[in-house]
Structure 1
Amino acid sequence: MTSAVADAVVIGGGPNGLVAANLLADASWDVVLLEGADEVGGAVRSAEVAAPGFVSDLFSAFYPLAAASPVISGLHLEEHGLEWVDAPSVVGHALPDGRAAVIERDAEATAAGLEADAPGDGAAWLRMVEHWRSVRDPLLDALFTPFPPVRAGLRLARQQRAGGLVELARLATVPVRRLGEESFAGEGGRVLLTGNAMHSDLPPDGAGSGFFGWLLAMLGQDVGFPVPRGGAGELAMSMARRATASGVEIRTGSTVDTVLVEHGRASGVRLRDGSTVRARRAVLADVGAPHLYREMLDPDVVPDRLLADLERFELDAGTLKVNWALDAPVPWAAPGLAGAGTVHLGVDDDGLLGVSKDLALRRVPRRPFLLFGQMTTADPTRSPEGTESAWAYTHLPVGTHDPAVVDEHVERMRQAVEQVAPGFAGHVVGEHVQSPSDLEHWDPNLVGGSVNGGTSALHQQLFMRPTPGLGRSETPVPGLYLASASAHPGGGVHGTCGSNAARAALSAHGRLGAVHRAVVRTAWSRVLTTGGRS
Structure 2
Amino acid sequence: MKGASQTAIVAGGGPNGLAAAITLAKAGLQVTVLEAAEEVGGGARSSEAIVPDLVHDHCSAIHPMAVGSEFLAGLDLDRHGLSWLLPDIDCVHPLDDGSAGVLHRSVGQTADGLGADGRRWRALFDWTSQRFDMLAEDIMGPLLSIPGHPITLARFGAPTVLPASVLARLFRTDQGRALFGGVAAHAFRPLHYPMTSAIGLGIITAGHRHGWPVAAGGSQSITNALVATLDELGGKIETGVRVQAASQLPPADVTMFDLAPDAVAGILGDRMPGRIARAYNKLRRGPGAFKVDFAIEGAVPWTNPQARRAGTVHLGGPYAELAAAEREVHAGRMPQRPFVLVGQQYLADPERSVGNIHPLWT
If the TM-score is normalised by the length of the shorter chain, which range does it land in? over 0.9
Fraction of identical pairs, as percent: 32
Q: 1:171 to 1:307 in 2, by over 3 A?
A: same
Letter in 2 for 1:173: V
1:375 aligns with 2:345: yes
Distance 1:56 1:333 in 2: 25
Distance 1:25 1:247 in 2: 7
Paired residue for 2:159, among 139, 163, 171? 171
Q: What is aligned with 2:118? A: 122
Q: What is aligned with 1:526? A: none
Q: What is aligned with 1:51? A: 51
1:254 to partner: Cα distance: 2.0
Q: 1:93 to 1:212 in 2, by over 3 A?
A: same
Q: 1:291 to 1:390 in 2, by over 3 A?
A: same
Paired residue for 2:146, among 150, 166, 190? 150
Q: What is aligned with 1:97? A: 97
SS at match of 1:338: helix
Paired residue for 1:283, among 255, 263, 288? 255
Distance 1:306 1:277 in 2: 23
Letter in 1 for 2:150: L
Runs of 4+ in 1 over 4 A off after TM superposition: none
For these two proteins, the number of residue pairs brought into alignment is 358
Alignment of 1:84-483 (within 5 A): 84-115=84-115, 119=116, 121-133=117-129, 136-152=132-148, 155-157=149-151, 165=154, 168-182=156-170, 184-260=171-247, 270=248, 277-279=250-252, 281-293=253-265, 295-297=266-268, 299-392=269-362
1:193 to partner: Cα distance: 1.2
1:257 to partner: Cα distance: 2.4
8 Å CA contact 2:87–2:309 kept in 1: the answer is yes
8 Å CA contact 1:139–1:156 kept in 2: the answer is no
Distance 1:13 1:213 in 2: 28
Distance 1:207 1:123 in 2: 25
Letter in 2 for 1:180: A
Distance 1:131 1:314 in 2: 36
Distance 1:344 1:134 in 2: 25
Q: 1:6 to 1:33 in 2, by over 3 A?
A: farther
Distance 1:323 1:87 in 2: 19
TM-score by length of 2: 0.93
Distance 2:214 2:92 in 1: 16
Q: Which has the larger radius of gyration?
A: 1
Q: 1:25 to 1:307 in 2, by over 3 A?
A: closer
8 Å CA contact 1:89–1:339 kept in 2: the answer is yes
Distance 1:388 1:355 in 2: 29
Letter in 1 for 2:328: D
Q: 1:318 to 1:130 in 2, by over 3 A?
A: same
Unaligned runs of 5+ in 2: none
SS at match of 1:324: strand
Distance 2:105 2:237 in 1: 38
SS at match of 1:193: helix
Letter in 2 for 1:352: L
TM-score by length of 1: 0.64
Post-superposition Cα deviations, 1:98-130, rounded to whole Å, max 9, x if no partner, equal 221111232222122112xxx3x2232222222
1:135 to partner: Cα distance: 5.0
Letter in 2 for 1:175: P
Unaligned runs of 5+ in 1: 261-269, 271-275, 393-534
Letter in 1 for 2:169: E
Distance 2:157 2:31 in 1: 40
Q: What is aligned with 1:415? A: none
SS at match of 1:195: helix
Q: 1:213 to 1:282 in 2, by over 3 A?
A: same
Superposed CA RMSD in Å reads: 1.9
SS at match of 1:363: coil
Q: What is aligned with 1:29? A: 29
8 Å CA contact 2:178–2:317 kept in 1: the answer is no
Deviates more, 1:126-135 or 1:88-97: 126-135
Higher RCO (Cα < 8 Å, 6 or more apart) = 2
Distance 1:73 1:123 in 2: 33
SS at match of 2:79: helix
Distance 1:76 1:245 in 2: 12
Post-superposition Cα deviations, 1:428-483, rounded to whole Å, max 9, x if no partner, equal xxxxxxxxxxxxxxxxxxxxxxxxxxxxxxxxxxxxxxxxxxxxxxxxxxxxxxxx
8 Å CA contact 2:6–2:28 kept in 1: the answer is no
8 Å CA contact 2:184–2:197 kept in 1: the answer is yes
Q: What is aligned with 1:61? A: 61
1:168 to partner: Cα distance: 4.4
Letter in 2 for 1:202: R
